[in-house]
Amino acid sequence: MTHSTPQSASLLFRIRVFCGLLFGLRKHDFRAASTWINTMYRGVSPLGRFTRFVRWSMWQMWCEIPDALCTMTFVAPVSRTPFWLAQGNPLENHPWREHPEARLPARSHVVVIGAGFTGGSLAYHWGKHAPADPSRTMVVLDMGDAASGSSGRNEGLVVMGRYCHMVAATVRTHLADVRADLTGDEREQLAKQFAVAYCRAAYRNGDLVEQTIRDEGFDCDYARQGWVQARDAEEQRSLAESVRLAQETGTIDWTSITPEEVRRRTGMQVTHNAGFSIAAASFHPAKWVFCLFGSALRSCRVELFSRTKVTRVERLGDTYRVHTSRGMIETEYVVNATESYTPLLHPQFHDRILPTQTQAASGFGGPDDIKPHVGISGTRAFFARHGDSILFGSDATRVPDGEAGVNQPSRFITAFVLGELRRYFGPSRVRVTNEWSGTVSYTPDEFPIVGVMDGHRQYIIAGMAGSGTAVSFNGGRCIVNRILERTAEADDYPAEYFSPTRLLNPRDHSWPELDSQEKRQ
């Protein structure tokens, strides 16, 4: 396939692609352009940024993208259904499709809002550990279907989380605003402690996911072969530092591999060392959600109601009234598993949970060399092989709260990623069939929140910074354990690191003590 594909586009084709891209630009393309400028040209003057960006985009539209597109075709119309949901959703319109007469219960011990990775994890752990007592039920509500949010629209990697160096860097930057009382060295130390707490929780999460899939015999295409992340020449120093910090802190999932090793593991051609998350895995994310709910629903301790929108959560002393599009439910506990949609339901999270759009596309064909079952990231895009299809995507652009979950992929970004695919794997033929977007959420310090959000019995798991598989399963386990008072179980989300008060009210937050010198050694 690779040998018979044309190497470069004709003049006429270039003009056609250039005009198509230019006239096809939409609102999101301009937002994404601004993200690009801010991340790629940091420290450059505004005029410098503008001229560099214009030069870069002209090069893309005239050279890179037309050369890539001359071997690509798009079916008409390209479907907006994510690759993972193309074969249907066994929990579609649950339970109304089979039981149109069903009604929401008037009471439930726990109400979970959201039925993605996080809601599914809460349901799974509740199904396993709650007592068989009819008054101790959990109701899960979703305004769409299970896995209709980001959990059914992603890349399909079970990540070990962000690596220690990255977490420390984002937390340190934010600490300068909220912990101005500390010295620079103290902030550095505190940021490192945050990073280690994050990695510890994420590593256990990754192992729990694997163990659960094996023990339960979940059929969700799970394979654990790591995640390779390309790095440019100018990123080599930071890569080396990140590997050093991983060794120093014992967060050793993260290492660096040579270009030959990158080629062997992924098929990707790079000229510099790449980052490598050793224990990351790949799976079918929607099947994972269906398996979690399958187990939970069989336990008879959990009920799932899709297409039921929560409009308000009202606290009544020690209990809550959850208002929905189908009526009200009284409950002792509420858990918000609403990720990027959270500020729409709880406006106090505006500017604290930032909905951020990412997109993907899939199609038949692709490079022969690209290896399956391994995470593959270039410096600006990701790629994966699934049978005779490939999946690829990019972008991380903040969108207004009201656009959480809106499916609005950019064709420019799809075309750009196809150019990146050619850059890393050489020319190949792809027939693009599906193209979609989803929203993840970032907190200002890019550190997740797992804990009580109102000082009472309302919990939240969110702000997972595009790495939901690294937090949701263990996070769900810990919240279920807290509600069921299973105090002997390890809790990886101590409030001093993970409580939402860190964001909602940093002055009153009980920040972690700085580790003593002896503990650091």
Give yes or no for residue 112 binding ligand FAD (CB under 6 A): no
Burial class (CB in 10 A: 0-12, 13-18, 19+), 34: middle
Tokens for 368, please give them. 């022969």
State in angstroms the smallest separation of the CB of 222 from ligand FAD.
Answer: 13
Q: How many CB atoms lie within 10 A of CB 317?
A: 6
Using the rule CB under 6 A, which residue among 83, 198, 341, 416 binds ligand FAD? 341
Options 111, 115, 160, 449; binder of ligand FAD; rule CB under 6 A = 115
* Choice between 249 and 469, CB closer to ligand FAD: 469
Phi, psi of 268 (to 5 degrees): -80, 140
Alpha helices, DSSP H, located in 164-235: 164-178, 184-216
Backbone angles phi, psi at 487, to 5 degrees: -75, -15
Of positions 28, 78, 119, 399, contacts ligand FAD by CB under 6 A: 119
Residues 6+ apart with CB under 8 A from 258: 273
Tell me, what DSSP letter sits at residue 468?
A: G
Kindly state the smallest distance separating residue 189's Cβ from ligand FAD, in Å: 28
* 327-336 vs 458-462, strand pairing mode: parallel
Binding positions for ligand FAD, 388-407, rule CB under 6 A: 393
Among 81, 108, 277, 338, binds ligand FAD (CB under 6 A): 338
**193 neighbors 515 (Cβ within 8 angstroms):** yes
Stretch that binds ligand FAD, among 111-119, 128-136, 166-174, 210-218 (CB under 6 A): 111-119
Count the residues in the chain: 521
Q: Which of 158, 147, 163 is nearest to 373 (CA)?
A: 158
Beta bridge partners of 73: 431
Cis amide linkage into residue 77, ω under 30° from 0:
yes
Q: Single out the segment in contact with ligand FAD by CB under 6 A; choices: 200-208, 347-355, 464-472, 483-491.
A: 464-472
Strands (E), 278-429: 281-282, 302-305, 310-316, 319-324, 327-336, 354-365, 375-377, 382-386, 389-398
d(CA 29, CA 25): 6
Q: Does 438 bind ligand FAD (CB under 6 A)?
A: yes
* 477 part of the interface to ligand FAD, by CB under 6 A: no
With CB under 6 A, what is the number of residues at the site for ligand FAD? 41
Interface with ligand FAD, residue 153, by CB under 6 A: yes
Dihedral sign computed on CA atoms, order 451, 452, 453, 457? positive
- The residue to which tokens 């929990």 are assigned: 91
Distance between start and end Cα atoms, the chain: 55
116 binds ligand FAD, rule: CB under 6 A: yes
Only segment of 57-65, 113-121, 123-131, 482-490 that touches ligand FAD (CB under 6 A)? 113-121
The residue whose two tokens read 């101790």 is 136
Residue 280 makes CB contacts below 8 A (sequence gap 6+) with 157, 158, 159, 160, 206, 224, 226, 227, 253, 375
Stretch that binds ligand FAD, among 102-110, 148-156, 163-171, 200-208 (CB under 6 A): 148-156
Note whether 448 binds ligand FAD by CB under 6 A. Answer: no
**Residue 463 makes contact with ligand FAD by CB under 6 A:** no
Which tokens in the block code for residue 412?
Answer: 């420019």
The whole-angstrom separation of Cα 284 and Cα 305 is 23
Nearer residue to ligand FAD within complex by CB, 66 or 468: 468
Q: Which is nearer to ligand FAD, 193 or 342 (CB)?
A: 342
- The residue range among 20-28, 127-135, 460-468, 501-509 that interacts with ligand FAD, by the rule CB under 6 A, is 460-468
DSSP symbol at 512: P
Question: Is residue 343 a contact point for ligand FAD (CB under 6 A)?
Answer: no
Of the candidate spans 93-101, 366-374, 466-474, 509-517, the one that interacts with ligand FAD by CB under 6 A turns out to be 466-474
Cβ atoms of 449 and 340 closer than 8 Å = no
Which of 66, 152 has the CB closer to ligand FAD? Answer: 152
Q: Which is nearer to ligand FAD, 175 or 413 (CB)?
A: 413
The mark string for 269-308 relative to ligand FAD (x by CB under 6 A, - otherwise) is: ----------------------------------------
Among 140, 196, 228, 360, binds ligand FAD (CB under 6 A): 360
- According to CB under 6 A, which one of 64, 155, 253, 446 is a site residue for ligand FAD? 155
Scanning 110-118, 131-139, 421-429, 499-507 for contacts with ligand FAD by CB under 6 A, the matching segment is 110-118
**Interface characters, 2-41, with ligand FAD (x: CB under 6 A):** ----------------------------------------
Instruction: Report whether 393 contacts 378 (CB < 8 A).
Output: no
Contacting range for ligand FAD; rule: CB under 6 A; set: 63-71, 112-120, 130-138, 482-490: 112-120
Closest CA to 197 of 498, 460, 488: 498
Judged by CB under 6 A, which stretch of 18-26, 109-117, 248-256, 407-415 contacts ligand FAD? 109-117
**Tokens describing residue 186:** 């103290």
How many CB atoms within 10 Å of residue 512? Answer: 14
Q: Which of 309, 323, 373, 386 binds ligand FAD (CB under 6 A)?
A: 309
Positions that interact with ligand FAD (CB under 6 A): 113-119, 141-144, 148-151, 153-157, 159, 309-310, 337-339, 341, 345, 358-360, 393, 438, 440, 464, 466-470, 472
